[in-house]
Structure 1
């Protein structure tokens, strides 16, 4: 309850209460570079306390908070009264942004194919746009195949009626159809009709099957109605299972699982054709697979990089099953790993890409779905739209972000690599000093995870209780905030792992502060001294 006006907490009050238990319900009033300033009451006066931001907007702040060059663009746009709402008109700036993205993607992947852009406002929306486009493409491919299959029916009828073709018994046997009494191999219009009816029935049964989606165990692709069903975390997904799509989750470390899924879900549509005077059955793969969703580095799953072996298996599966690969670069993309696309380090090529977060420079809510030319369906532009997407403000901000990334022959990419390596080294030093407390350090560039050992059986009841309720990472984050002025959070589906996603502005002094703070937290855990944890100030 707000005591000043007696208005109850109405903006997600349960979340606010949960944050309060770990001391994370602070108010930030200003931001610059890697620093957030939180409000605190001291001696009856409101003061600002600087906080080193290592969460970085969940990877949205490649260039930090309120980067001066991005602010200058934003101010100019606003001063010039740039139109935010000019839907259903020409947007040359959006085309320029799509072209620049294409130029960089071509350089990184070696692809000569164009990628067409559909703009959106968030990562989850970009993912859903990719899934919708993939399903439209699948439905149209299935319709085209069905039309070709049905078109040959009349040809078969005419050939058999005229005596130009014979319907062999083995064809009927394969279809499970008995030759009607009184018809012979040389004739048998009734037999042809029975065969065609059986094929029509079986093909219709397959066409009615729901599409199959694939995603990786541990993957996170959003919490909207469709994207949440592609997210592995059961706590997010299962309450809405009745609304969602059918997803098969693929475990890492078992590439053979893809072969098993292809055998279990794959099927063929049948067609009768005439070849050399005989009626034959031709098989066509049924396009049941809609899309394979992949994060090159799983963000909310614990900052887990995709292995090159699994990347190769996914690419091979996509080609074998005619299943488009949707690469979710929402958190890992935009230079954070030393390249525009983290997937380019793996040699993994997407049929679709989803980019967001740092695309908006920390100022604009911008995302984009890119689909390669050979899969592109122009009809999609008429059945999908987004009110605030493709506007002048967000597109120009995004163009400036790309300009900053590409400046000085890609200096920002090199900074991400170098600063990430320096931070990784600091985290590794802490892990090496506390192997009983720290389980792993992983990631790439400025997308790193710091995983603690499981503390659910800890001697300290407070620490064990926090671990048992999934609050352990939040309690440690609260301690880092109040004792050391460092802001980070655990990843959503792996709450023993803290995320470190600062900007390229990260300094050696800031890395030193992070190392000192984590060392303190590890000493507390080793000593099982929860009384030393600070979650308020």
Structure 2
């Protein structure tokens, strides 16, 4: 082979394994230990879901195979009466409960289930097979139809006709189903312990009542012991715990001794029939080699009066007691520890409101226990696995030969997880994904820094008026830390690596549910945060089709949750062309940019007032002026300022020049409109003065300029020519060089969509005010070290109620981001139209949002610098520092 590919078995699972570093190549196994190709040794606590009952490469199984070879036993000899298969059938009949005796051999548990379904239908002449919710019976079509989880069935158009489900451990539900379908139920199939469902043990007496009901209604009683059989629960068969005698019992997994595949459908004379006997067959059934192993397995389990099984019960009781003690010590982490024998499940509490959107997202994606499994494997060398049906439960299902000290080793590692979760030091669970496999030593308590969701209260019986959703992602590394305080221990590069890891996830997910937000007028809305797993770099650099598809599916998820309007947070509006790419999906869309513009400019002008900057004398700067928010901010800035510099993207110099020239025309057109409306302030005041100056001139050039101004034939070139003619400064400049031209500005709004910092400490004039509404931030952290400039975080909104979206989004209670707040406001109004879409925001929309914000009690939340509220005293000190610096420079 010239190229070795590792995606040829199952590329889908390969990606999952690689995501959580479960993609080991095990090259050696003995007992409960495995070794990978790099020589790392692992304690296996999965035992292939019970299919490796005696650990890897048990000597007695190899001895049985050596005996087969020594005898020269033929493996497949149909049609005949194969002796080895008959011997195994006789041993099974001898030890199985009741009168089970007829053995239909196959290669797997799912085939055994298929055989049982056919057997029941042929024996009764009826169709319906009843199974239970949360059950697992296999993945071929018939067994899949009996499996109690919709997500397994839907892609394959299952269930097939004739299947129905009822709750597990609910005898009344079975009685009702049998009575309502009297005469048409062929069988009821059930696991004594739901394995893939998360180790749910049948209630005491349940199976006996089931047996009685089935007998009364002449329904075949099928017990699926594919996972529980052959010693796993501390009895040879789990049936023995209740003393039941089913009509059909199914075995597989352990019967092959961990080396060969074999399953069997054991049936009683009551059920066996000639139609089944003549028409059901399998080429590889009655395999003499495999049956010889099955005989060796049964001999091993039954020797010394079932000594091994008695030991299994003691070890199982010990394991269960240890994890139940863990649950008692960490009740806020472990929801339940349950099981029977060496078949134990540890279920963790849901993480919907755990102080971390990442953990909530992982929970929603069903990846939480995969994260834990990867952590245990890479950090502690312990191999555990999640359940297919229960994504919050870890499986503890070791080989039947496990030792007590090995159980202790696993429980100690689980306790470390509990300590991490209890203290919310979540970063310790992720470090292995970034290449750090060291064991945690110091666990810090981040509970005091962790926020909980707070919502408005609803009166009894009250329902919300409308629903919204908001799509979010991490614009930059600093946002990861804000949301997950424990991630502060990571370097910036490690945070970028974490964001790159998250981007491997293929689907959006719910990270927060807000049950109710009430406005000051009494209206209420319910909402959801939908996370897309991209950092700022990823969302801007990954293929556009990929990111838009992800955001589109997040919009669809929002709609399906019942949202009437969906907001686009951070860069999701940028990559969807201001939302245009995701409109038309039967739900209203808003980019949130209009209210962000409004709140950002209000914060900037408030900051200017407190820093004693008169707008008429200020020089404004707009970073990211070619974007939708930047354009709108420039227009609003022009209402008060007569001098502005518009900054474009140096990476796209030509297109920036065209768009900045277009924006210049828009600003001057807007100024002329305002002048005609009698509003002589800012750029309209400048225009009024220019008109007066031109009217005072008597030459043809002045007349030509004046005519062009009055006809609104504006261009940057024309304005520069007029200013040169009148010998005055240009009101508007354009630039793509921040370091050269930003120091001229003292009133700056930063609105770019750059994933990297644009404004650095040396770029700012002493006494300047900056409002950074960009996500990720445009201002570099080092700029905050200057004590002579005021740098504000823009777009923060005060709510009329002290709600909190949790996980450090929303800052102090009752405060949140403007883009999210626009979505909430429109939802409160019951709006079902798109808003703030595209690259040109309507100032009418901005004014509309100003009016409904006032109506519902939403407003600017005050000023914030460096993630901390800043008061008038602090700002005055910054102002005085700037004065001292200017005085020193003038000396």
TM-score, L = length of structure 1 = 0.78
Deviation at 1:128, TM superposition (A): 0.5
2:156 to 229, 236, 240: 240
- Point out the structure with max Rg over C-alpha: 2
Instruction: Name the CA distance, whole Å, in 2 between partners of 1:499 and 1:216.
Output: 20
Deviation at 1:489, TM superposition (A): 0.7
Taking the TM superposition and a 5 Å limit, the aligned residue runs for 1:265-344 are 265-266=181-182, 286=183, 288-344=184-240
Aligned to 1:349: 245
Aligned to 1:130: 116
Deviation at 1:114, TM superposition (A): 4.7
Taking the TM superposition and a 5 Å limit, the aligned residue runs for 1:41-56 are 48-56=39-47
Instruction: Name the CA distance, whole Å, in 2 between partners of 1:260 and 1:453.
Output: 33
Instruction: Name the CA distance, whole Å, in 2 between partners of 1:437 and 1:347.
Output: 36
Moved more, 27-36 or 371-380: 371-380
Aligned to 2:104: 118
Deviations 1:286-311 (A, max 9, x none): 3x111101100000001011112321
1:103 equivalent to 2:94? Answer yes
1:72 to 63, 86, 90: 63
Aligned to 1:254: 170
CA 1:387–1:231 in structure 2 vs 1: closer, same or farther (change >3 Å)? same
Instruction: Name the CA distance, whole Å, in 2 between partners of 1:62 and 1:496.
Output: 25
Aligned to 2:784: none
Instruction: Name the CA distance, whole Å, in 1 between partners of 2:212 and 2:397.
Output: 31
Instruction: Name the CA distance, whole Å, in 2 between partners of 1:305 and 1:404.
Output: 26
Aligned to 1:86: 77
Instruction: Name the CA distance, whole Å, in 2 between partners of 1:402 and 1:239.
Output: 39
8 A contact 1:463–1:528 mirrored in 2:
no
Instruction: Name the CA distance, whole Å, in 2 between partners of 1:440 and 1:430.
Output: 10
1:370 equivalent to 2:368? Answer no
* SS class of match (1:374): coil
1:219 to 135, 150, 156: 135
8 A contact 1:229–1:241 mirrored in 2:
no
Deviation at 1:255, TM superposition (A): 2.2
8 A contact 2:110–2:143 mirrored in 1:
yes
Deviation at 1:374, TM superposition (A): 1.8
CA 1:242–1:517 in structure 2 vs 1: closer, same or farther (change >3 Å)? closer
8 A contact 2:169–2:202 mirrored in 1:
no
Taking the TM superposition and a 5 Å limit, the aligned residue runs for 1:134-213 are 134-139=120-125, 211-213=127-129
Moved more, 406-415 or 370-379: 370-379
Deviation at 1:491, TM superposition (A): 1.1
1:506 equivalent to 2:402? Answer yes
Instruction: Name the CA distance, whole Å, in 1 between partners of 2:332 and 2:159.
Output: 43
Deviation at 1:375, TM superposition (A): 1.7
8 A contact 1:226–1:245 mirrored in 2:
no
Aligned length: 433
Moved more, 461-470 or 309-318: 309-318
Instruction: Name the CA distance, whole Å, in 1 between partners of 2:282 and 2:170.
Output: 39
Deviation at 1:254, TM superposition (A): 3.4
8 A contact 2:100–2:266 mirrored in 1:
no
* SS class of match (2:89): helix
Instruction: Name the CA distance, whole Å, in 2 between partners of 1:524 and 1:131.
Output: 46
CA 1:128–1:6 in structure 2 vs 1: closer, same or farther (change >3 Å)? closer
Deviation at 1:515, TM superposition (A): 1.1
Deviation at 1:134, TM superposition (A): 0.9
Deviation at 1:247, TM superposition (A): 2.1
Deviations 1:4-26 (A, max 9, x none): 61647222111100111111111
Instruction: Name the CA distance, whole Å, in 2 between partners of 1:60 and 1:49.
Output: 23
1:10 equivalent to 2:46? Answer no
8 A contact 1:102–1:114 mirrored in 2:
yes
Taking the TM superposition and a 5 Å limit, the aligned residue runs for 1:392-431 are 392-431=288-327
Deviations 1:49-84 (A, max 9, x none): 111111111011221111111111123323544322
Aligned to 1:494: 390
Aligned to 2:614: none
* SS class of match (1:375): coil
Instruction: Name the CA distance, whole Å, in 2 between partners of 1:512 and 1:367.
Output: 33
8 A contact 2:352–2:360 mirrored in 1:
yes
Instruction: Name the CA distance, whole Å, in 1 between partners of 2:355 and 2:149.
Output: 29
Deviation at 1:85, TM superposition (A): 2.3
Aligned to 2:846: none
8 A contact 2:145–2:158 mirrored in 1:
no
Deviation at 1:354, TM superposition (A): 0.5
* SS class of match (2:29): strand
8 A contact 1:302–1:494 mirrored in 2:
yes
* SS class of match (1:293): strand
Instruction: Name the CA distance, whole Å, in 2 between partners of 1:308 and 1:403.
Output: 30
Instruction: Name the CA distance, whole Å, in 1 between partners of 2:179 and 2:273.
Output: 28
Aligned to 1:524: 420
Aligned to 2:699: none
Deviations 1:151-183 (A, max 9, x none): xxxxxxxxxxxxxxxxxxxxxxxxxxxxxxxxx
Aligned to 1:147: none
Instruction: Name the CA distance, whole Å, in 2 between partners of 1:114 and 1:51.
Output: 40
> Which consecutive residues of structure 1, in runs of 5 or more, have no partner in the other structure?
41-47, 143-210, 267-285
* SS class of match (1:396): helix
Instruction: Name the CA distance, whole Å, in 2 between partners of 1:56 and 1:97.
Output: 23
8 A contact 2:100–2:247 mirrored in 1:
no
Deviation at 1:252, TM superposition (A): 3.3
Aligned to 2:26: 28
Instruction: Name the CA distance, whole Å, in 1 between partners of 2:78 and 2:159.
Output: 30
